[in-house]
Each structure stands twice: as structure tokens, then as C-alpha cells.
Amino acid sequence: MHTHNLVIRYNNLAFRIAGSLVVAIFITLFGTGSSFFIALKYPSFYLVVGLSFLVALLLTYCVHYSTIQLDKYFDWQRKPFRRAGLQLSIGVLAPVVLAYYIMMLYFRFVDGRDIHDSQYMLIDFPHMVYFIIILNLYYVIHYLVVALMMMYHLWQNERRAIEKEAGLVTIISQAEEPAPVKDPEYLINEHLPMTKAGTISETIVPAVPKVQMDNNWITVNGGMHTLTLDVLQDVCYFYRSGRSNWVVTFSGNRYLVAKTLKEFELAYCGAHLFRINRGVIINRAAIARYEEGKHRRLILILKPGYEQLCSGEDFITVSQRNYSLFKSWLDQPLTV
């Protein structure tokens, strides 16, 4: 099972441009005693604002790009302390140093003065540092808000599913009817020919239908990150609860999925997975054996450690329709 960090698309170009312009105007006017509308009358105002705007825009891009890269490799959830240190060094200190050297070059080659002989380091530069810190805080808060919204959305879906899960047994039992039997004496299951004695013919055993897929991986949303599951190795069973479909892993985690059980059945049911009833597709690796139940149904006995993953009888009950086919499927050895 592979874990991917939560990557957020910060579609904030307009915000960065507007923020850089506001900061440029503020830094230009701060400490001069002149108002904005009076300063508009002087051409030098536009030159200074333009230069400050380009510097601020460059710094916002540096913070923006570094934050995106840190989100990919050092997300806040999995590595909070390391991420905080990297955000401070790459997202704050590096842009501050860059701003200092840019303005040092400007004062040396354009203004003709040493930057330390001017008032820039005392008046203007601290505000540039504040701007960089606020920008980093914006990205951190943006990340946390999006992550919390995703977690809340998943929690809501899971809560609705849990509320409906109590009626899963009734839903499956009411919706499921025995397969039509043409001749009870000779045919019990339409999929398998029966002898007159009521046993499965050994000469004809149909293979379990399956659809060939390019791979056995599915992607699910784990809240703060996306998970890639190996269906054969990680998935214990798929099940339906009301209108929602879920996947449960051998490690006990449960994830909401968008596909239907029919789609999973066509894609993955074969040697390793079997749809035992209308609401459950189970992995062979979780099954220890089965016992005969009432009314031509089978009760699955799961391997130790997996019993607690199934919260109801219907999760381990093979329906009448699949009674004979399941026996044949489980008796067939796995082929590599």
C-alpha cells in the first residue's frame, strides 16, 4: 500500500499580484508623510512602486513554488516538525536573503549608495520581512483549511454510511431472492449442472467469469492523502451500505469508493475475489473455511484476526444463488 501526500493547487495568481502591489505601495509611502493621491502626481512614485512590485512579486513566486514542492515531499501531517523547519528556512529565510541582495544591488548600481547608508534597512526592509512571514502563514492556513474540509467531508459520508449500515442485513435479505429453479430434482443452481443425486457434476465445472485488467490497483481518498491499494494484497472485502460503497483493508481501514460493486465484480472477481451476495465481495485470503447454513446458504469462517472486520452476518453469508458456484470456486486451487 502506497501513500501519497496531499497536494493542493493554490490557484491564487490574482491574490499574489494584488498582494504584491499593495505591499509595494505601502513600502513606498511608509515614512514619507505623503498620501497616496498626492504621490500619484509624481513620476518617481511610479518608478519606485514598479520596482518594489517586481521584487514583491518575485518573492511571492519563490514562496509559492517552495510551498508546492514541500507539500509534495514533506506534508504537514506526516512530517510536521521537519516541514515546519523547512518552511521556515526555505519559505521565510531564503526569500528574506534574496530580498536583501536584490535591494543591495539596486542601491549599489542604480542609487549609487551602500544599502546600509540609507534608511531602507530600518524602515522598508522590516516590512518586506513581515510580508514574507504573512505570506507563509497564508499558505499554512490554506493547507490546513483544505485538509480539514476534506476530513470533514469524509467524516460526513462515513457517518451517513454507519447510520445506514444497521439496515444492511434487511436490505440484502429483502432484495435477494433465490435463483429460479427449473427442475428442483435435477437442477439446483443454473450455473452448475447437477446429477440426479443432487451433487455437482464433476465433468463440467464452469470457470468463474472475470474481466482482464491492466493492473490490480485502486486509488482511494484517505483524508489528508491519497492511498493506492493493491486489490489482491490489501483489500479484505468490498461492501455496499445503502447507496454508498466501501472498501475494507486487511489492516482494518475503511474507505469510501465511487465505483459500484458491479464494477468491482467485473474488474476483479476471479481466482482471488468472489461476490458472495448482493452486498459483499470478499477476498479468498480472508477465508479459512465454510459451514453449511440454513436454506442452502453457506456461513464463512474467517481466518484469525479478520473476524472483527465483518460487522454482521451478511458479511460472511453466501447466498442461495451462489451456493454451488462458491464451493466450486473455493475448491479450485490458485494458479500463478
pLDDT, tens digit, for every residue of 258-292? 888 998 899 888 889 999 998 899 999 989 888 88
Q: Which residues contact 209 (CB under 8 A, 6 or more apart)?
A: 269
The Cα–Cα gap between 137 and 153 comes to 24
Domains of the chain: 2-160 (no CATH), 179-331 (2.40.50.1020)
Confidence category of residue 81, pLDDT binned at 50, 70, 90: very high
* CA angle, 317 then 319 then 321, to 5°: 160
At residue 206, the pLDDT reads: 39
pLDDT at 84 > cutoff 90: yes
Longest dimension (CA), the chain: 107
Could you tell me where the DSSP H helices lie in 188-321?
A: 231-234, 261-268
Q: What does pTM read for this prediction?
A: 0.51
User: Which range has highest mean pLDDT (24-33, 67-76, 128-137, 305-314)?
Assistant: 128-137
**Locus of grid cell 465454510:** 290
Mean pLDDT of 167-178: 51
What pLDDT score does 57 carry?
Answer: 94
- As to burial, measured by CB atoms within 10 angstroms (0-12 exposed, 13-18 middle, 19+ buried), residue 2 is exposed
C-beta neighbour count of 19 within 10 angstroms: 18
Cα end-to-end span (Å), the chain: 21
Nearest residue to 319 (alpha-carbon basis) of 185, 191, 165:
191
Q: Summarize pLDDT for 200-246 with one digit per residue, the tens.
A: 444 333 333 333 344 788 888 766 677 888 988 899 999 888 778 88
Identity of the amino acid at 312: G
Half-sphere exposure (CA, 13 Å, Cβ side) for 58?
16
pLDDT at residue 212, rounded to an integer: 37
Taking the C-alpha atoms of residue 321 and residue 326, their distance in angstroms, rounded to an integer, is 9
Contact 54, 95 (CB under 8 A): no
Interatomic CA distance for residues 5 and 239, integer angstroms: 27
- Asked if pLDDT for residue 189 goes beyond 90, the answer is no
Run of H or E including 67 = helix 43-73
Degrees to nearest 5, angle at CA 217 with 212 and 221: 140
pLDDT at 167: 52
* pLDDT for res 223: 65
Mean pLDDT, rounded, for 36-40: 87
